[in-house]
Structure 1
Amino acid sequence: MPSTHWSAPVADAPVDATVELPGSKSMTNRALVLAALATGPGTIVRPLRSRDTLLMADALRGIGVGIVEEPSGEWRVMPRPLTGPAQVDVGLAGTVMRFFPPVAALAKGPVDIDGDPRARERPMGPIIGALRDLGVVIDDQGRDALPFTVRGTGAVAGGTVTIDASGSSQLVSGLLLAAPRFAKGVEVRHEGPPVPSAPHLAMTVAMLRECGVTVETGEDVWQVAPGPIRARDWVIEPDLSNAAQFLGAALVTGGRVTVPGWPEDTTQPGDALRGLLAAMGAQVSLGPEGLTVRGTGTVRGLEADLHEVGELTPVLAALAALAETPSRLTGIAHLRGHETDRLAALAREINGLGGDVTELPDGLEIRPRPLRGGLVRTYDDHRMVMAAAVLGLAVPGVEVENVATVGKTLPGFTGLWSDMLSTASPEPPGPGGRG
């Protein structure tokens, strides 16, 4: 295989590891936006430093925000008047392409926004249309997609907008985060199929309220009152969604993995791993040392509606491919509009290893079948790398294309993975994995 391919290591014994995870991408990027629009300087403690968060920081710097990385690793954010002209790269980061344009609308001057080729295919029409309804001038040549130019005047009127946010909850969050700085605030009404990833919306609302912003929510409606965003410091939780593959390794190998710092109460969707992994046969406990998952020697199939926690799907699909009974994962049609069409990609790559996966209109059916080694393509999608690593635990010969794309949310992933496997106990592995 070419040197650009990563050979996913096989677990020849049960893992027994404590894995320290970096901070949450979702919280870091929300904190960056709120700090940039606040009434004074603030500090972000334990921020995630990944491609997505660095793109957000650079986007905000591009329109005048001061962001300095301290020797301690903390980020000091200093709000300043927002100005163009600026050229901003959002990469393939959904949070940046949906959160930044409403902020750019508050800048005085034009802001050109573009991203990776795949980013130009991701749903942007609802937020472009909403900003226009709120009085913002946007030049997109009729594409309703990247690239486009936000022609800010230094202020946004605000008001009421109706959008279809069924493609991504980020479409709502992006409007809410900047809304306190709009003259009339904003009332966002959703019309269409259910909005996915409700925990992420809850995170947005909670963080706004922690800054003293008045937010009211109802059935498919969110109201943010105009007013100051109070300056404050943010302490970023570990990224719980990025724990999926490590905790899953305990299940596959019949071992133990502990993630320290797991919060008792959180709005992160990754907290759902506790119930999902238990349903697949794991023993799960939360204590002072963190969240601990122990494999029992059995990996059961999973029948679950993952509408609220779609980002967990790739790793759960990999676990399902190694399970002893069939799985049915539904409620995730919106994953077709992520970094790649995740449903098609997962079916194609698992089947390429000899699996038996069928795409559904809104999910996947996965039936147990012995797998073989082979190349797993990742489609510039960090979570495809994580899924492939889980498969490689039990399937010799899994080669992963473009492992570096995992740096989008988890730089240093391969090192963390190797460190976890190096702690494997010498006892023979349990029957949790399928070869």
Structure 2
Amino acid sequence: MTVTHIPGSKSVTARALFLAAAADGTTTLLRPLVSDDTEGFAEGLGALGYRVERTADAWHIEGRPQGPAADSADVYCRDGATTARFLPTLAAAGHGTYRFDASPQMRRRPLGPLTTALRALGVDLVHEQAEGHHPLTVAAHGIKGGDLTLDAGQSSQYLTALLMLGPLTAEGLRITVTDLVSEPYVEITLAMMRAFGAEVTRDGRTYTVAPTGYHATTYAIEPDASTSSYFFAAAALTGTTVTVPGLGTGALQGDLGFVDVLRRMGADVEIADGRTTVRGTGRLHGLTVNMRDISDTMPTLAAIAPFADGPVRIEDVANTRVKECDRLDACAENLRRLGITVDTGPDWIEIHPGTPAPAEIATHGDHRIVMSFAVTGLRTPGITFDDPGCVRKTFPEFHHVFEEFRHVTA
């Protein structure tokens, strides 16, 4: 059995940084993810005037419930969607003028439903170029609060940003959601808000957030479930056993549900207190699966699908088309490069059994494409990547760790 230690969750780290910055007092984050995305978030907080002190295994954030210390700032959000969506929302609760921009890749990703909602709350916000995209400027003067209707069918991050804003408003927020994707990520948000002292309730698709503010705390970041999916998939593919400690019963992240997909395909899965183990059985069955709620693991499944004994059809993943790249098309493109027959539709992909041949993977600058097809490479030597370094977004040491894993399981 191989025990693999996975870096901290990107999703949890980003939310914790927002909540810590908004809290009254100094918060300590234990074992946060250190990657391009999270460093970009911390750098953005610094530009806004928040104090962030980083040590080897903990970050300390001095919160400011009243908002950014700086009365003006120019914030570069890099490639980070959480940075690009959460920081303008945090700044809107303060007082000052703040400009936000991002990489060309992030500029292409949509922001409109969130900024429309912020405007409905009275936020003075201007998109400088394309409406609904970065760059944008926020002239902040605090937020009264009120009722909102939100379409979060493209990204649950729109809802998460507004939920986290709620305790910082004068009167609280009530948000009615007309559509929602990746709902488990919202459950992460609610649990973490409560850990920082917020009062938030849900009645169907309506969320009510009281204007309580937040209090500082010490918060441990659990391992990243999306990143763990590559190692779980590798075990299922190669007939080996992998255990990820720190991620088990009671985990916040819905992407741990990926192991249930592997179980349906024939792997043995055990989720225990504080750990999850996947053991490959030497077989992978085809299946049809709805991955709307765990869509970040869609590329992981696509990358091992050719080795199943029947077609693998992944449905309800339209939102993967507006990630770092169009992941649905990127998976189809690369599987075809490997000689695999693939069919696609607006929100689905069907992958037929086959024997992948070596080829260069077109990464489109997307970390999840690289890490997913690295798993394919366990059974197909000779796979290469046009931009292997883009894994720095969430797991800078991925290639080193995965190579060690390869040798241990060989």
TM-score range, shorter chain: over 0.9
Higher RCO (C-alpha under 8 Å, 6+ residues apart): 1
Q: Which of 73, 76, 81 is the equivalent residue of 2:60?
A: 76
Q: What SS is found at the alignment partner of 2:17?
A: helix
Map 1:303-342 → 2, pairs under 5 A: 303-342=288-327
Q: CA RMSD in A?
A: 1.4
Which residue of structure 2 aligns with residue 409 of structure 1?
394
**Which residue is equivalent to 1:183?**
170
The answer to whether 1:169 aligns with 2:156 is yes
Distance in 2 of aligned mates of 1:402 and 1:44: 31
Paired residue for 1:243? Answer: 228
Distance 2:404 2:81 in 1: 30
TM-score when scaled to structure 1?
Answer: 0.91
- C-alpha distance 288-189 of structure 1, shift in aligned 2 (>3 A): closer
The 3 A distance-change label for structure 1 pair 84 and 377 is farther
Deviations 1:70-113 (A, max 9, x none): 2x420011024512311111222221122111101123221111
> For residue 20 of structure 1, what is the amino acid of its counterpart?
H
- Aligned residue runs from structure 1 range 129-168, under 5 A: 129-141=116-128, 143-153=131-141, 155-168=142-155
Alignment of 1:7-156 (within 5 A): 16-70=1-55, 72-80=56-64, 81-82=67-68, 83-141=70-128, 143-153=131-141, 155-156=142-143
Q: CA deviation at 1:288?
A: 5.8
Deviation at 1:205, TM superposition (A): 0.8
Which residue is equivalent to 1:10?
A: none
Tell me, which stretches of 5 or more residues in structure 1 are unaligned?
Answer: 1-15, 426-435
Alignment of 1:347-366 (within 5 A): 347-366=332-351
- How far off is 1:273 after superposition? 2.2
Give the Cα–Cα distance (whole angstroms) in 1 for the partners of residues 45 and 242 of structure 2: 37
Is the 8 Å Cα contact of residues 248 and 272 (structure 2) preserved in structure 1?
Answer: no
Residue type of the partner of 1:152? A
Distance 1:166 1:294 in 2: 35
Residue among 258, 262, 266 paired with 1:273: 258
Contact 1:63 1:107 (8 Å CA) reproduced: no
> Aligned to 2:266, what secondary structure does the other structure show?
coil
Match 2:194 to one of 197, 206, 209: 209
Q: Distance in 2 between matches of 1:289 and 1:272?
A: 15
- Give the drift of 1:420: 0.6
User: How far apart in 2 are the matches of 1:331 and 1:289?
Assistant: 31
**Structure 1 ranges of 4+ moved more than 2 A:** 286-290
Shift of 1:250: 1.0
Shift of 1:44: 0.2
CA contact (8 A) 1:241 1:269 kept: no
> Could you tell me the TM-score, scaled by structure 2's length?
0.96
> Which one-letter code corresponds to 2:54 in the other structure?
E
Contact 2:249 2:273 in 1 (8 A): no
CA deviation after TM superposition for structure 1 residue 143, in Å: 1.3
User: Counterpart of 2:174 in structure 1: which amino acid?
Assistant: E
Inter-CA distance 288–195: structure 2 relative to 1 (3 Å threshold): closer
Partners of 1:163 and 1:190 within 8 A in 2: yes
- SS of the residue 1:245 aligns to: helix
Aligned to 1:304, the other structure's residue is in SS state strand
Q: For the residues of structure 1 that align with 2:273 and 2:17, how far apart are their CA atoms?
A: 29
Q: Which amino acid aligns with 1:77?
A: I
8 Å contact kept, 1:343–1:364: yes
Q: Give CA-to-partner distance per residue, 1:174-213, whole Å, 9 cap, x none.
A: 111121111121112222xx31111100111111112221
With 399-408 and 168-177 compared, the bigger mean Cα shift is at: 399-408
Output the amino acid matched with 2:58.
Answer: E
What is the CA deviation profile of residues 118-170 of structure 1, one whole-angstrom value per residue up to 9, with x for unaligned ones? 211211111111111111101114612111111112x1122111121100000
**CA spacing shift, 1:111–1:337, aligned 2, 3 Å:** same
1:221-300 aligned within 5 A: 221-287=206-272, 290-300=275-285
- Number of matched residues? 406
In structure 2, distance between residues paired with 1:93 and 1:224: 26
Name the SS of the counterpart of 1:200 in structure 2. helix
How much does 1:372 deviate? 0.6
The alignment-based identity, stated in percent, is 36
In the aligned structure 2, how far is the partner of 1:190 from the partner of 1:280?
34
Q: CA deviation at 1:221?
A: 1.7
Question: 1:4 is matched with which residue?
Answer: none
2:19, 2:200 → 1: CA distance? 14
Report if the CA contact (8 A) 2:201-2:209 is conserved: yes
2:371 counterpart of 1:393: no
2: CA distance between counterparts of 1:312 and 1:424? 22
